[in-house]
């Protein structure tokens, strides 16, 4: 779970952050999240103690997305995050906040052939359920359903998108160009 530097997970209210993480845990055996705030929800603390939840203030996102155990990426759908997720072959569950992220999220769902939550503009109900405290458990259920759909994306779809991104001067080429410009390669 990474929602970018502008709308980092820690920018959500405490209950919204807890609901997001609980929903992810309901759908996945292990969750890694980026947040600058320590976890203080009792249920999430138990998940941390059990080794199911890890929260870090920063992670090397590209390296993490490339790890063989990463099967789904809850993202704000910023251009870099979307490109990294696609380039590493990881299904993305969109949770956009700003401008271009809405467009990128819609394209991500088209590419993967699913919507994260049933309904038109699927990521809007997910986002709204996290930003507005509603009926108990509603946001957790929405997040869990979104993550389950992300985890269910067929391998063939993910592999095809990964090949397409890499063939079109993808993540590796861009990283090489940047490193070359700053004198690291």
DSSP symbols for 28-89: -S-EEEE-SSPP--HHHHHHHHTTSEEEES---HHHHHTSTT---EEE---HHHHHHHHHTT
Q: Which domain holds residue 172?
A: 9-181
> Total domain count for the chain?
1
- At 19, phi and psi to the nearest 5? -65, -40
The CA dihedral of 114, 117, 118, 121, to the nearest 10 degrees, is -80
pLDDT of 10-24, one tens digit each? Answer: 556 677 778 889 989
- Predicted pLDDT of residue 183: 62
Let me know if residue 47 belongs to a domain.
yes
Let me know if residue 4 belongs to a domain.
no
Let me know if residue 157 belongs to a domain.
yes
- Predicted pLDDT of residue 29: 94
CATH (domain of 138) = 3.40.50.2000
pLDDT of 54-104, one tens digit each? Answer: 999 999 999 999 999 999 999 888 889 988 998 898 988 888 777 788 788
Average pLDDT, the chain: 78
CA 115 → CA 46, 98, 124, distances in Å?
Answer: 31, 19, 11
Residue 126's nearest CA partner among 111, 107, 114, 141 is 141
Integer Cα distance of 65 and 119 in angstroms: 28
Whether the pTM exceeds 0.85: the reply is no
């Amino acid at each position: 779970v990474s929602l970018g530097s502008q709308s980092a997970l820690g920018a959500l209210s405490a209950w919204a952050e807890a609901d997001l993480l609980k929903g992810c845990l309901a759908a996945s055996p292990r969750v890694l999240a980026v947040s600058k705030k320590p976890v203080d929800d009792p249920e999430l603390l138990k998940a941390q103690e059990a080794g199911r939840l890890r929260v870090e203030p920063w992670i090397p996102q590209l390296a993490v997305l490339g790890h063989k155990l990463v099967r789904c990426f809850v993202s704000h759908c910023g251009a870099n995050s979307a490109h990294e997720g696609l380039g590493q072959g990881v299904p993305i569950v969109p949770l956009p906040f700003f401008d271009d992220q809405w467009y990128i999220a819609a394209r991500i769902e088209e590419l993967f052939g699913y919507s994260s939550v049933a309904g038109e503009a699927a990521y809007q109900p997910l986002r709204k359920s996290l930003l507005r405290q509603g009926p108990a458990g509603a946001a957790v259920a929405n997040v869990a359903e979104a993550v389950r759909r992300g985890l269910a994306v067929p391998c063939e779809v993910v592999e095809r998108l990964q090949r397409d991104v890499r063939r079109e001067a993808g993540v590796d080429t861009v990283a090489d160009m940047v490193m070359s410009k700053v004198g690291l390669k």
